[in-house]
Structure 1
Amino acid sequence: MRFDFKRCLLFCLTVWSMNLAAQVNVHKELRTPNWNLIALRYEKQVKPLVFKSIFPAELRAINNTVIELPGFIIPTKVGNTFSTFMLSIVPIESCPFCGTGDIPSMVEVKMLKTIKWTDKVVRIRGKFLINDSGDNRSEFYLLNAEQL
């Protein structure tokens, strides 16, 4: 049997293109300076099986300030309009556990007026709060928020 370079090359290109098609879109275009600051939060083990969230000084600097974030609406209840929802850097149809990097942070949004659900990017402005109480609620809030 003779080695067929053209067939081998065609096979390699086909496998390579299938691998490219399977890549997850990380949505880097939504990364803003504010999302980058939110991503600084990390967990530290304080005792066996007990972790505490750490909010670095750069992230704490935007606590209690009005910020803007682009993102996707992740509903927390059934409906078509929402006054409370999660804002994510990845769309609802993307698996937040897939792809590269860690699980992206989400921010709980409390709107002044209801907003209609969309699968498009929305831009939200509101007062950013860090919840460092250690309870099981969201760690980040955007309060009195408005859609831009």
Structure 2
Amino acid sequence: MKKIYLLFLLLWGNVALAQKQKHNPNDQLRSLNWDVIGSVKFELTGKNELLPLFSETVKRFDNREFDLTGYLIPIKSGQKQQKFLLATLPINQCYFCGQNGVPVMIMIEMESATAYSEKPIHVKGMLKLEQKDASYAPPITIKNAKLIN
């Protein structure tokens, strides 16, 4: 719970900064692989859990090598990041003010830390799907990822 609170504070701080910047819808990344990730829907259960509903499309890629180009969204402070979110929109775009909506995001776990960049990065690793409450942790992860140039 503390991690989610910290992530919320980090994103909220960036929202305040982002509101000074003009929105650019051309920054949103689109690809067939992002469409696969975007095919996951979510269901709120009676126990107040947000569980993923994995489509057959995304299930085909479970435990297989998968690559994505996206924007690095840090979940911890520091110039080097080993575990972070990858999104279709840059962090300077306001996710919560209704201008661009909440972008598709997944967790990335790198083999070794990579430097933070505001430009899109391309990663490749093993796609993992987990049936867990998305309120606390992303159910889709690319593990053992490597930076692709």
TM-score normalized with structure 1 length = 0.74
* Shift of residue 93, structure 1, vs aligned partner: 0.5
Identity of aligned residues (%): 21
The one-letter amino acid of 1:141's match is T
The equivalent residue for 1:105 is: 104
Structure possessing the higher relative contact order (Cα contacts under 8 Å, 6 or more residues apart): 2
Structure 1 residues 40 and 129 mapped into 2: Cα distance closer, same or farther (>3 Å)? same
Q: Runs of 4+ in structure 1 displaced over 6 angstroms?
A: none
Matched, 1:52 2:51: yes
Larger Rg: 1
* Shift of residue 112, structure 1, vs aligned partner: 0.8
Structure 1 residues 63 and 26 mapped into 2: Cα distance closer, same or farther (>3 Å)? farther
Kept in 2, the 8 Å contact 1:25–1:99? The answer is no
Q: How far, CA to CA, are the matches of 2:50 and 2:133 in structure 1?
A: 10
The total of aligned residue pairs comes to 125
Runs of 5+ consecutive residues of structure 2 not aligned to the other structure: 1-21
Kept in 2, the 8 Å contact 1:26–1:99? The answer is no
The equivalent residue for 1:146 is: 146
**RMSD over equivalenced CA pairs, Å:** 2.1
Runs of 5+ consecutive residues of structure 1 not aligned to the other structure: 1-21
Q: How far, CA to CA, are the matches of 1:130 and 1:113 in structure 2?
A: 21
TM-score normalized with structure 2 length = 0.74
